[in-house]
Structure 1
């Protein structure tokens, strides 16, 4: 009996204490509330938001109402199907998909009960950091490759809105998106933060195969058409290509005459 008791206390006192402390910390690692609270906070200014036309944040332009309407309809559709991951893309460049993604994320941030994560997945031409007037901490390619831990990459810009920005363009995005590690990293992120919505700002769908390769990682797609830019043929082609893989939630018309419409 004495031998067993001696064996149970073989570890030095300091090592036993360290081990117990480690056990006490483990639950917090998987606690979404703790993760959200511990994220680096990036400060936004109203001046920068207005300068970059983030109308959903300042609500100083009547166009913000269109994003509120889109937010509500999108949330209803996601809840109906049990979806949470949405890719936002456009047929070609210049349609304003990053503008729409950012404003939509800000509109969702005004719903206290909804946690949103917005990720810059236009790896060939990242723009969300500039749109928000923030500094991206590192490379999205490195993050998706598993090199960077989520707590060292994500930033919180609202109590319920986190962003994953990108400071380095990458030409091998199509291959990276189809790598198994990307799916694992996104699953890890979802487990850590338990977001109600993940918005992926994607490159144009007709430019490369990036969007098509990334679609297995999302539930549905929102297409942004540019007024005076996107042709009916462009929109039809995008719908045909993408709808074979994932449902299309709708086509939003940006840069229309008057307020943003959808």
Structure 2
């Protein structure tokens, strides 16, 4: 597709929360996947309320808007944390918060809120969808907009390295009213997708799975993803001690199963 045919011309309309179709997540799905960030009365939301405060302060100080959330290893609870952080953050900021699913091989964010999308970010990247606003959903009663993807198991790197991905990031950065845009990314060692994506983002948060993610994993991720800055880390499933055996390798069985099974939550 020639540049002139791309749908992001200088007169392209703004991507606004009000321009997204409203979606009300079924209560049973919210409870099933333990999405507690929408409800400040839920005691389980407290860690995410604390996290959102430090997160919001950090990105404001650094002037960041587009932040990826990744992990070193599979099954670290990354998507669960992405959804809860985004929903919790959306309750306290004045401007909209957007959450974009770029873990195309898993496409789990829609499942977490019981959404069955007809089109997704993958469609925009392959040219079958021209308008990002037709992909996004505004969560009823909140300032959170979610942009799902539909699962693909092949050629994801080609989609993410293409011209349309760069134009999508430009649209989100320059023509979006959202003050903060979070991206649920693949684990760093599952494929090179996270490396490709982060070349165009402002920074990332690293989810560390207590007792499974090793010091070597963390060091290698930080090296791999340079020069994009890591603005912080989240220690997930912490039970009073790291318990790190330093014995996990990058080629273990979890990587072969990662795209076949749902991601465990925190």
- Both proteins in one fold, TM over 0.5: yes
8 Å Cα contact 1:145/1:182 also seen in 2: no
Equivalent residue number for residue 79 of structure 1: 60
Equivalent residue number for residue 177 of structure 1: 160
Equivalent residue number for residue 15 of structure 1: none
SS at match of 1:56: coil
Equivalent residue number for residue 199 of structure 1: 182
SS at match of 2:69: strand
Equivalent residue number for residue 70 of structure 1: 51
**Alpha-carbon distance, 1:38 to partner:** 3.0
Equivalent residue number for residue 214 of structure 1: 197
8 Å Cα contact 1:117/1:161 also seen in 2: yes
**Alpha-carbon distance, 1:29 to partner:** 7.0
State the distance in 2 between where 1:223 and 1:151 align: 28
Aligned: 1:147 with 2:134: no
State the distance in 1 between where 2:183 and 2:171 align: 16
State the distance in 1 between where 2:42 and 2:84 align: 12
**Alpha-carbon distance, 1:170 to partner:** 3.7
Number of matched pairs: 228
Aligned: 1:57 with 2:38: yes
1:164-198 CA-to-partner distances (Å, cap 9, x unmatched) read: 11223242122221212201022223444321111
8 Å Cα contact 1:49/1:58 also seen in 2: no
SS at match of 1:74: helix
SS at match of 2:235: strand
What is the aligned-residue RMSD (CA, Å)?
Answer: 2.0
1:82-110 CA-to-partner distances (Å, cap 9, x unmatched) read: 11000000011110100110000011110
Where structure 1 has 5 or more consecutive residues not aligned to the other structure, the ranges are 1-27
1:219-241 CA-to-partner distances (Å, cap 9, x unmatched) read: 00100011232122212211222
1:201-232 CA-to-partner distances (Å, cap 9, x unmatched) read: 00110111111111122100100011232122
State the distance in 1 between where 2:23 and 2:70 align: 25
State the distance in 1 between where 2:103 and 2:127 align: 18
Matches within 5 A, 1:84-163: 84-148=65-129, 149-158=131-140, 159-163=142-146
State the distance in 1 between where 2:17 and 2:100 align: 16
State the distance in 2 between where 1:164 and 1:139 align: 7
State the distance in 2 between where 1:181 and 1:62 align: 42
Q: TM-score, normalised by structure 1?
A: 0.80
**Alpha-carbon distance, 1:112 to partner:** 4.5
State the distance in 2 between where 1:65 and 1:40 align: 29
Matches within 5 A, 1:207-246: 207-242=190-225, 244-246=226-228
Q: TM-score, normalised by structure 2?
A: 0.79
State the distance in 2 between where 1:182 and 1:38 align: 21
The structure that is helix-richer by fraction is 1
Where structure 2 has 5 or more consecutive residues not aligned to the other structure, the ranges are 1-10, 241-266
8 Å Cα contact 1:108/1:114 also seen in 2: no
State the distance in 1 between where 2:27 and 2:55 align: 26
State the distance in 1 between where 2:160 and 2:214 align: 28
